Amino acid sequence: MTQSHRLNPQPGEVIDRSAPLNFTWNGKRLTGFQGDTIASALMANGVEVVSRSMKYHRPRGYMTADFWDPNGFVQVGDEPNVRSGHRQLTSGITVDPQNVWPSLDYDVKAANGLVGRFLSAGFYYKTFMKPAALWPAFEKVLATFAPGGSVDLDSTPGYYDKRYSHPDVLVAGGGPAGMAAAIAAAESGARVMLVEHEHQLGGHLRWGSTADQASARQLAESVAAAGVEVLTDSTVTGRYEDSWVAVSQRSHAHAVERLIKARAKVLIVAPGLIERPYVFAGNDKPGVMLSGAVRRSIAMYATRPGSRAVVFSGNADGDAAAIDLERVGVDVAAVIDARSGANIVEAHGGAKRVSSVELADGSSIDADLLVVAAGWTAPTSLLNMAGDRPVYDASCARFFPSATIDNVLSCGGIAGDGNFDEIVAHAQATGRLAAERAAAVQHRLQARTARSAPVEFAEPAWPADVRSPLGRDAHPELFQSSTVGMVDFSEDVSSKDLVLAAKEGYDSVELLKRFTTATMGPSQGKLETVNTVAVLADARGETIEEVGTTVWRPPYAPISLGGLAGRMFNPHRVSSIHPWHESNGQIPIQVAAWERPEHYGNPAGEVTNTRTNVGIIDVSPLGKLDLRGPDVPKLLNLLYTNKWSKLPIGGVRYGLMCAEDGVVLDDGVTGRLGEHHYLMTTTSSGAARVWEWAENWLQTEHPDWQVHITPVTTALSSINIAGPKSRELLSRLTSIDLSREAFPYMTLRTGIVAGIDDCIMWRIGFTGELSYEVHVPSGYGLHVWQALIDAGADLGVAPFGLEAQRIMRLEKGHFIVGQDTDGLTLAVSAGVASLIKLDKDDFVGKTELAWALADRMHELPQVVAIQTAAPTVVPTEATQIVRPGTNEILGRITSSRMSPTLGRSICMGQVPSSLAAGGTALELVLVPDGRRVAATVLDTHAHFDPEGARLRA
């Protein structure tokens, strides 16, 4: 096929005829030009039917031939739902129609059209509600009817980008008004970002007269000269609190799409007007086009939209379309002038295209093109989002802004009408006002921001709006003909559907919208909203003002999920020893943001080696807070349930933290390094929370206390050396006396380890073994780790991972906050009664714990150690605990493992206090088969070495 419908060169065309581009449409090879949209290239090749409608599978052609065209969704390669009226043609692309089966020209589902009354509004709600059990079957059938393209799950995701911006003035819309406003604002000293939805600046001037096109060029040149940042093919999709503006940029050189989050000081809304379809029978047939579509096709893309036209005109643009058509040789059979009361009632035609137009007077005119110029819709979305509720003006048949908003100004067609000079003058005044207001905002921001450049003058008074408003041109109210026609083309909702829904009681506009889905399709109501309101008003016998309109919410235009998600940031933390783990066979596990070794191939073997010889584990993620100041003991006494006033220098103590409701918050070990210097450790996941928690108590409750908290979690790399040979291993790397007498359990020493100064060592025992935790300045963490590995070869030193540590702590009966306790577990349930010191004056959670101990213990659970009768059964975590022989649920298993040390399964769980005594018989209901096994509560939390002989060795 040649470009049979391409006209001779037009003065304002945006195509480059020297750059032909090949592409395929529906399997056929076609040619277009650089600068074409997919739609204009198809039209140039005489393609008439481009899609099938969503519900009735009616044939559709281009109606607006721009971004908003409800009929132009196509599949381009592996990308579905491409707007062919907007997307520019590129070489070699494969374009296919969507929503057709088996083919575009013959669509089986078009049979829907014959039984259309069964698919009226709410059809799905009404028909498939009962019986509910059949819904999966219904769903399967309906899915084959669902509209849309096909998603290729194997396609590689593109690079979607995000960016912040802080323009003084952001202008939404690059037509004459937007450009004039941007220039004026920039010339007044503002940093301006101008965002245009289309591929070129110029708005409607692009398809206007030669003089219009010259004006567009001139304005665009001035925009560039004024230093305005211009984003074309980009949409201001939303305006949020405090002038936070979202821009979707589709034209970025390095990204498929880029989401710009702009904190605009002032937003200028200048989106122009969107041409509104007219509701009459056959208004969705291929060959029915809006006047702007016809004029764009001719002026910008040099395509001939038909050969014999009827023009239904309610305004100057309709008249201009008739003139344009005649100029390029299209036979204009008739201009039906709506202003004089003439009307059209139906577009007749076959399967593919309009063939004649029936008028209200009963006559009929043969034509393959029906041009409709029925009026304009003001796309007030961004104003709605800023709190405006636009008001309908019947004399102009459109809505106008009503509110005065400090930092959102509008200009151009959305604000009123006028000739070019009037529109530009109003826009320039808007741009200047925006720049003045932005300067006032900038002054406020700068004066209040510590780091900013100083402001040398007083804050200017808030600039008043002294613009003379634009006039308004009269326009006939053309909402529907006497016949039934399509209102929402993308959702296939007709005026009859709306009337029926209103009769059924959905007669509020917000309800009607949701029930019929009118205005909820990909055109986001830009084409349909006012017609929907008008049909409802008619059905209710009221005016449009009385019915009101739906509230336009973000997005202004649909935005891709990739664009919304943007580049995903997944902060990833590793310790200084990570390179060693990576090159020594670690199986990593992600714990919050941390990547840590779960094990190195054999966690049970790691346990056995640690219990037999010596193991080392990288515990750097352990939260660490450096505490300095004379009032640290007061802070510790407040945050922990136990007492801290008498901790000697060199002492280490375990502490449990609660929230104010007595629920366990965190736990860890704190050591005293000096007179006024302590090191607190927290759980790995609790590090940030505990820091904020402690700061909160200091800053808001006790600002008089002298304490400095500094997080040092990764300033120090932490290595736990555990096992009977740990003392021997460490002694080879330090001159510190490690003997039992010189360095007893729960004490700390500081000094040199493996040649590294300023190391902190403390003797604690999460694993239950003789163990030393060494905290090393992180720049030398890897060095110390390697030194331990090298020095201990003859001792059988081997690394162990998180899994082995978890097994050993469970053998030893140490609970993990958040695993064995939950969001309801009070400290009094954790089996650590000796740590709760109610005789302290105050500690966080004390009140609730005191009341619980006094009279709630019988109703609270206890954390206990449990063993199954069958030693090989390892119940999964969260296994239910029941009263033997019954279904009465008593509690659950919170931790379970096979213990390599004991050769049997071991568990921890929560049971009622009355059943927490050692020897109590329980029954577990196993997952997934419901098999029951007997189990017993242990006397102590520890399954292994309950006396703690090993760790005190």
Partner 1 sequence: MLLVPCPYCGPRNSSDLRHVGEAISRPDPNAASPEQWRSYLYLRDNVADWNVETWYCTRGCRKYFKVERNTATNEFRDPPMPGNKIGGKA
Partner 2 sequence: MPEFESAIIKTYAPNPGASMFLSDESATTKLLVRSDQAQFGLVFGASSAVGEALICATRPDEWLILGSEPAVDAAAAGIDSGGFTNVIPFTHGRSLFRLTGAHAAGLLEKICGIDWSDAMTPEGAVTSASVALTTCDIIRHDRNGIRSYLLMCDRSFGQYLFDALLDAGDEFGISVE
Choose between 248 and 483: whose C-beta lies nearer to partner 2.
248
Q: Which stretch binds partner 2 (CB under 8 A): 446-454, 522-530, 553-561, 718-726?
A: 446-454
Is 446 an interacting residue with respect to partner 2 (CB under 8 A)? yes
Q: Which ranges of 300-355 would DSSP assign to H, the alpha helix?
A: 316-327
Minimum distance, C-beta of residue 654 to partner 1, in the bound complex (Å): 23
Q: Which residues pair with 718 in a beta bridge?
A: 775
- Residues in touch with partner 1 (CB under 8 A): 240-244, 261, 263, 265-266, 386-387, 405-408, 437, 441, 444-445, 448-452, 462, 660-661, 692, 695-696, 699-701, 841-842, 846-848, 851
Is 847 an interacting residue with respect to partner 2 (CB under 8 A)? no
Contacting residue, 359, 445, 589, 915, with partner 2 by CB under 8 A: 445
Is 452 an interacting residue with respect to partner 2 (CB under 8 A)? yes
Choose between 5 and 191: whose C-beta lies nearer to partner 2.
191
Residue pair 768/811 in contact by the 8 Å Cβ criterion: yes
Picked from partner 2, partner 1, none, the partner binding residue 586 (CB below 5 to 8 A depending on kind) is none
Task: Report the distance separating Cα 915 and Cα 909, nearest Å.
Answer: 12
Task: Report the distance separating Cα 84 and Cα 558, nearest Å.
Answer: 14
Picked from partner 2, partner 1, none, the partner binding residue 692 (CB below 5 to 8 A depending on kind) is partner 1
Task: Report the distance separating Cα 774 and Cα 782, nearest Å.
Answer: 12
Picked from partner 2, partner 1, none, the partner binding residue 406 (CB below 5 to 8 A depending on kind) is partner 1
Is 442 an interacting residue with respect to partner 2 (CB under 8 A)? yes
Pairing relation of β-strands 344-349 and 354-359? antiparallel
Phi and psi dihedrals of 562, rounded to 5? Answer: -60, -40
Nearest to 110, CA basis, from 24, 198, 49, 65: 49
Task: Report the distance separating Cα 681 and Cα 711, nearest Å.
Answer: 10
Is 913 an interacting residue with respect to partner 2 (CB under 8 A)? no
Structure tokens at 380: 């007030």
Nearest to 239, CA basis, from 200, 266, 199: 266
Which residues, numbered 208-267, are part of the site for partner 2 (CB under 8 A)? 253-254, 261, 263
Own/partner long-range contacts of 879-887 (Cβ < 8 Å, ≥24 apart): 879/924, 879/925, 879/926, 879/927, 880/924, 880/925, 881/909, 881/911, 881/922, 881/923, 881/924, 881/935, 882/922, 882/923, 882/924, 882/925, 882/932, 883/922, 883/923, 884/921, 884/922, 884/923, 884/934, 885/923
Is 684 an interacting residue with respect to partner 2 (CB under 8 A)? no
Is 3 an interacting residue with respect to partner 2 (CB under 8 A)? no
Mark 687-726 with x for binding to partner 2 (rule: CB under 8 A) and - for no binding.
-------------------x-x-xxxxxxx----------
Is 782 an interacting residue with respect to partner 2 (CB under 8 A)? yes
639 contact partners, CB below 8 Å, separation of at least 6: 655, 657, 693, 694, 697, 843, 844
Choose between 242 and 704: whose C-beta lies nearer to partner 1.
242
Choose between 756 and 844: whose C-beta lies nearer to partner 1.
844
Picked from partner 1, partner 2, none, the partner binding residue 232 (CB below 5 to 8 A depending on kind) is none
Minimum distance, C-beta of residue 510 to partner 1, in the bound complex (Å): 21
Would you call 752 helix, strand, or coil by DSSP?
A: strand
Site residue total, partner 2 (CB under 8 A): 57
Residue pair 205/453 in contact by the 8 Å Cβ criterion: no
Minimum distance, C-beta of residue 855 to partner 1, in the bound complex (Å): 11
Is 163 an interacting residue with respect to partner 2 (CB under 8 A)? yes
Contacting residue, 569, 855, 919, 930, with partner 2 by CB under 8 A: 569
640 contact partners, CB below 8 Å, separation of at least 6: 655, 656, 657, 670, 843
Q: Which ranges of 541-618 would DSSP assign to H, the alpha helix?
A: 544-547, 561-565, 578-583, 603-612
Is 415 an interacting residue with respect to partner 2 (CB under 8 A)? no
Contacting residue, 755, 819, 888, 932, with partner 2 by CB under 8 A: 755
464 contact partners, CB below 8 Å, separation of at least 6: none
Choose between 519 and 682: whose C-beta lies nearer to partner 2.
682
Residue pair 727/795 in contact by the 8 Å Cβ criterion: no
Nearest to 43, CA basis, from 300, 231, 378, 226: 300
Residue pair 875/924 in contact by the 8 Å Cβ criterion: yes
471 contact partners, CB below 8 Å, separation of at least 6: 416, 417, 418, 422
Picked from partner 1, partner 2, none, the partner binding residue 567 (CB below 5 to 8 A depending on kind) is partner 2
Contacting residue, 9, 114, 141, 164, with partner 2 by CB under 8 A: 164
Q: Which stretch binds partner 2 (CB under 8 A): 4-12, 457-465, 576-584, 597-605?
A: 576-584
Residue pair 173/410 in contact by the 8 Å Cβ criterion: no
Is 734 an interacting residue with respect to partner 2 (CB under 8 A)? no
Picked from partner 1, partner 2, none, the partner binding residue 700 (CB below 5 to 8 A depending on kind) is partner 1
Q: Which ranges of 449-473 would DSSP assign to H, the alpha helix?
A: none
Task: Report the distance separating Cα 242 and Cα 405, nearest Å.
Answer: 12
Is 780 an interacting residue with respect to partner 2 (CB under 8 A)? yes
DSSP, residue by residue, 351-378:
SSSEEEEEETTS-EEE-SEEEEE--EE-
Which residues, numbered 315-334, are part of the site for partner 2 (CB under 8 A)? none
Picked from partner 1, partner 2, none, the partner binding residue 756 (CB below 5 to 8 A depending on kind) is partner 2
Choose between 468 and 570: whose C-beta lies nearer to partner 2.
570
Is 459 an interacting residue with respect to partner 2 (CB under 8 A)? no
Choose between 337 and 626: whose C-beta lies nearer to partner 2.
626
Choose between 15 and 680: whose C-beta lies nearer to partner 2.
680
Is 617 an interacting residue with respect to partner 2 (CB under 8 A)? no
Minimum distance, C-beta of residue 267 to partner 2, in the bound complex (Å): 16
Q: Which stretch binds partner 2 (CB under 8 A): 131-139, 223-231, 624-632, 736-744?
A: 624-632
Nearest to 39, CA basis, from 394, 324, 323, 296: 296
Minimum distance, C-beta of residue 490 to partner 1, in the bound complex (Å): 31
Residues that bind partner 2 (CB under 8 A): 161-166, 191, 253-254, 261, 263, 442, 445-446, 449-453, 567, 569-576, 578-579, 593-594, 620-621, 626, 628-629, 706, 708, 710-716, 755-758, 777-783
